[in-house]
């Protein structure tokens, strides 16, 4: 893989990732002619003392680009008469600092956009194993680099797809957040896993994976290095977790054989979600990685994938109990969801 660093006109970093030779160096160094002013916005963290959780206030994001027409998409390559966030006329995978970051400022974290393809109408599921491996290599590289920045506690890689999820740009892309604090979900999992290890000497992530595989009813896919299953206490109607068979802390720690199989199984899972219903499923595909500085020896890298669609014409909304009290109520039994995903 070839990695080419450059910068946009406002100073934000842009990195191209090419599988093999890719485009000539001069093409990747195409300048950004827009003359954008430096970004002066910054977010603010506030502490909820009752829940002991941090909330990010990022009011500048109210003005971010929202569902532009395809011929005005800022993630497509630049073309004569139209300059975008990607100055090059084509690319394989591109990563740049978000122009409207949720996290910003010294010690406040960093937000990056990961463009999976220059094709506006592509999807992650349809990229093909070779391109998915390039995306995975880019995510692993960003994880390792961002985790080393001062003040970064956790690196979170994810993809949101579908207007029903709240996506504001339909071009195939994901995001990487370098967070200055541990998320509430990660902190809670770390506490639970640490308590279990003190009491039993065993790793809870390993037990959850192995018990699902031994039971079999909730397994969706099984490979040599990875397995996918519906969690026993799934919150969403269709929710799948993808675990490596070898516990590792993050994407950067995967071996080449593990990445190669992941490049096949992850798109296959997304394709199964799309085949559940007549139209493509809205989803969140979220990589849970070990914190940058604490709990790395106990935490297990895994993917959590879910759709908000519970039927062809129905969405699962986090309503009164979910949004108000954090108590999820699932309409579909995990065993039934797994059977449906295996069948498609």
Q: Is 241 labeled as catalytic in the residue annotation?
A: no
Interatomic CA distance for residues 137 and 118, integer angstroms: 17
Query: What is the 8-class DSSP label of residue 205?
Result: H
E-state strands within 70-206: 93-97, 110-115, 154-161, 173-179
Rounded Cα distance, 311 and 100, in Å: 34
How many whole angstroms separate alpha carbon 45 and alpha carbon 58? 9
Q: Residues near 294 by Cβ (< 8 Å), separated by ≥ 6?
A: 153, 182, 190
Calculate helix-pair angle for 334-343, 256-275, nearest 10 degrees: 100
Which of 47, 66, 171, 173 is catalytic? The answer is 173
CA 186, 191, 193, 197 torsion-angle sign: positive
Using left for φ > 0, alpha for ψ between -120 and 50, and beta otherwise, residue 105 falls in left
Residues recognised as catalytic: 173
């Amino acid at each position: 893989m070839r990695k080419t660093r450059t910068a946009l006109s406002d100073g934000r970093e842009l990195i191209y990732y090419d599988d093999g030779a890719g485009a000539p160096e001069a093409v990747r160094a195409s300048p950004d002619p827009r003359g954008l002013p430096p970004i002066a916005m910054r977010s603010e963290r506030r502490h909820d003392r009752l829940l002991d959780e941090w909330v990010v206030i990022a009011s500048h994001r109210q003005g971010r680009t929202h569902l532009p027409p395809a011929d005005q998409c800022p993630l497509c390559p630049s073309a004569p008469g139209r300059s975008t966030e990607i100055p090059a006329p084509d690319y394989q995978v591109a990563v740049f600092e978000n122009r409207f970051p949720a996290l910003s400022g010294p010690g406040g974290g960093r937000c990056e956009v990961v463009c999976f393809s220059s094709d506006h109408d592509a999807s992650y599921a349809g990229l093909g194993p070779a391109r998915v491996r390039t995306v995975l290599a880019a995510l692993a590289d960003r994880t390792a680099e961002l985790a080393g920045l001062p003040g970064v506690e956790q690196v979170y890689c994810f993809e949101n797809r579908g207007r029903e999820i709240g996506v504001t740009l339909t071009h195939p892309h994901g995001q990487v957040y370098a967070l200055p604090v541990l998320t509430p979900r990660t902190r809670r999992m770390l506490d639970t896993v640490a308590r279990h290890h003190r009491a039993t000497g065993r790793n809870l992530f390993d037990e959850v994976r192995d018990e699902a595989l031994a039971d079999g009813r909730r397994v969706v896919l099984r490979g040599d290095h990875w397995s996918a299953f519906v969690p026993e206490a799934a919150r969403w109607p269709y929710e799948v977790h993808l675990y490596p068979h070898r516990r590792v802390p993050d994407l950067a720690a995967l071996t080449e054989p593990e990445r190669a199989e992941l490049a096949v199984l992850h798109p296959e899972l997304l394709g199964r979600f799309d085949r559940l219903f007549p139209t493509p499923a809205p989803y969140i595909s979220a990589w849970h990685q070990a914190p940058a500085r604490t709990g790395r020896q106990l935490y297990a890298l895994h993917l959590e994938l879910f759709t908000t669609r519970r039927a062809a014409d129905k969405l699962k909304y986090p309503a009164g109990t979910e949004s108000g009290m954090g108590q999820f109520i699932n309409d579909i039994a995990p065993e039934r969801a797994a059977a449906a995903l295996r069948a498609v």
